[in-house]
Structure 1
Amino acid sequence: MADPNDRYRAPALDKGLDILELLAGQPHGLTRAEIVKAMGRSPGEIYRMLERLVARHYVMRSPQGDRYALSLKLFELGHRHPPVERLVAQALPAMEAFAQAAEQSCHLGIYHGGNLTVVAQANGPGNWGLAIRLGVRVSLLGTGSGHVVLAFQPEQRRAEMLAEHEALEGEVPVAEPELQAIVERIRTLGYWQGESQQAFGVIDISMPIRGLQGNALAVLTCPFIRRIDRHVGPSLDAARQLLAGTAGGISID
């Protein structure tokens, strides 16, 4: 807790930080009464501060409304632009090597504000291919990329993402049972592979880029297009294996 000998005091800030530090050691959260008891403060003080922390998304209230737990907002703040720049710098050479070997394009997405944002793109060596523009938003619910990010999250974090999600243009709604089945399948396989929900004739392959705790911190996707002329390129299975190796070699920890 705050040191009474500190020269400069900010009681309200100290109170909020005390709550965050307390909840950081409680993976299952605490009730308001438990927080009041642990901090030795009045219920009114704790109530007001908790409400502000919930409103700013640093703390999550349980669906029943009786428990409070730390969200992953602090984690997200720690993975803002400088780490993203490092991620792109590390990922691009590997992505370009994949594009050359698989003769397919690929793009890298990270979660931001309820959907995904494309932060890197590598084109295949041929004269044509499917490319995603940098900076575009990709649906969390309507793409394999989004499903992969959701699949490799703790339940609480997945609920936060779904709560923040805003449907993008053309997005097809996904019912809760269907989404749960998709998530479980991805967790079992370790990746997503299936027909694109935006373009006919494209098979999307999406691989998670995982942190030390196993969470998907980014996703690498190849929109696979099969050639039908006389050129024989790498197969879908070969491209998937190459993409898995590429994703496994990228780290953002």
Structure 2
Amino acid sequence: MPRQRIISDVKKVDHTIEVTAVNADIKAADAEGRAYSAPALEKGLDILEMLCQAEAPSSMKDIAQQLGRSVGELYRMLAVLIDRRYVAQVGDSYYITTKLFSLSHDNPPTHKLLAEAMPIMQKLSSQLDQACHLTVYGQGRQIVIAKVDTPSGMGFSVRVGSELDVLVSASGRVLLAFQDLETRKFWIEESLVRRPEQADPQIAGVLDFINKRGYESAPSVQVRGLYAVSYPVLDSHDRAIAALTVPYAERIDQARRKSIVDIEGALGEAAALLCARVGGRSPVSEQA
């Protein structure tokens, strides 16, 4: 068979696979009652989301099985994602790169927040000999976007990029407490979709108390022996764009260790400074 005819036949098969897949996507979208105009984009995003959540590199077969699609539907998407450096390939396995993470930090508001936060956090951590971290809300969870480890090397900290629960953590409740009621309600609903077992009938009262006090300070309900203090970083509309938190781990071998009151005071001052740097008002003046 002539070479040109073979190439032509392959292209026809590829085209048939693509058309069949697109038609299937459109029918599925119609059945779900949603508008749908970019099936290829949906596939690409599905791949990115799946690889972001994967704990290890995945083969193309694994990706197809996870997404309920055929290998033929995905190989071109993966090729483009590799070419654009969102995905890397080693042998037969694929894994997410750091490009999405880098892009999120290049976003002007986040970039400004991080640029102002890091020196303040480093000074705070050095002053207290405790770790601290900065989180933002996203789709029912918190994302750690910055952290400074304990200078002495011994303490509790979380890694950048970690996803934290919202409803049961000091920082998550701070993010919720300093929102308008409609946003607060929506975020709570999103968080419950992710963690339905964390429903709390008293959450509204708890958040109102945090808002009135200006910060949260309470024993951790996730790590035994840990005490969390968290302040909001407010924008010009008095809404929390981030939470600055110290997970206080008491060093019993230190004679001059900081108390929780010391932590609250120093963290409040740091949060007030960061609020001022990003154009917001500090809630410290509202404290009793």
TM-score by length of 1: 0.64
In 1: Cα distance, 2:193 partner to 2:252 partner: 35
* Preserved CA contact (<8 Å) 2:128 2:263: yes
Q: Secondary structure at the match of 2:198?
A: coil
* Preserved CA contact (<8 Å) 2:171 2:230: yes
Look up the equivalent residue of 1:188 and give its one-letter code.
K
Look up the equivalent residue of 1:240 and give its one-letter code.
E
Residue 163 of structure 1 and its aligned partner are, at CA, apart by 2.4
1:193 matched residue in structure 2: 217
Matched, 1:133 2:159: yes
2:251 matched residue in structure 1: 227
* Preserved CA contact (<8 Å) 1:142 1:174: no
1:1-253 aligned within 5 A? 81-165=107-191, 173-176=198-201, 178-251=202-275, 252-253=278-279
In 2: Cα distance, 1:244 partner to 1:216 partner: 14
1:71 matched residue in structure 2: none
Runs of 4+ residues over 3 Å off in structure 1: 166-169
In 2: Cα distance, 1:156 partner to 1:230 partner: 46
Residue 81 of structure 1 and its aligned partner are, at CA, apart by 2.4
In 2: Cα distance, 1:80 partner to 1:153 partner: 25
* Preserved CA contact (<8 Å) 1:139 1:167: no
Q: Structure 2 stretches of 5 or more lacking a match?
A: 1-33, 36-104, 280-288
Look up the equivalent residue of 1:125 and give its one-letter code.
P
In 1: Cα distance, 2:256 partner to 2:267 partner: 19
In 1: Cα distance, 2:268 partner to 2:229 partner: 9
Aligned length: 175
In 2: Cα distance, 1:202 partner to 1:121 partner: 17
Residue 228 of structure 1 and its aligned partner are, at CA, apart by 1.2
Q: Secondary structure at the match of 2:218?
A: strand
Give the root-mean-square deviation of aligned CA atoms: 2.1
CA radius of gyration, larger in: 2
Q: Secondary structure at the match of 1:184?
A: helix
* Preserved CA contact (<8 Å) 2:140 2:194: no
Look up the equivalent residue of 1:100 and give its one-letter code.
S
Higher fraction of helix: 2
- Structure number with greater CO (CA < 8 Å, separation at least 6) is 1
* Preserved CA contact (<8 Å) 2:231 2:271: yes
CA displacement, residues 76-126 of structure 1 (integer Å, 9 cap, x when unaligned)? xxx982211221111000000000001111000011112110000011221
TM-score by length of 2: 0.57
* Preserved CA contact (<8 Å) 1:115 1:139: yes
Residue 132 of structure 1 and its aligned partner are, at CA, apart by 0.5
Q: Structure 1 stretches of 5 or more lacking a match?
A: 1-50, 53-78
Look up the equivalent residue of 1:229 and give its one-letter code.
D
1:12 matched residue in structure 2: none
Are residues 100 and 172 of structure 1, via their aligned partners in 2, closer, same or farther at CA, if it must alter by over 3 Å? farther
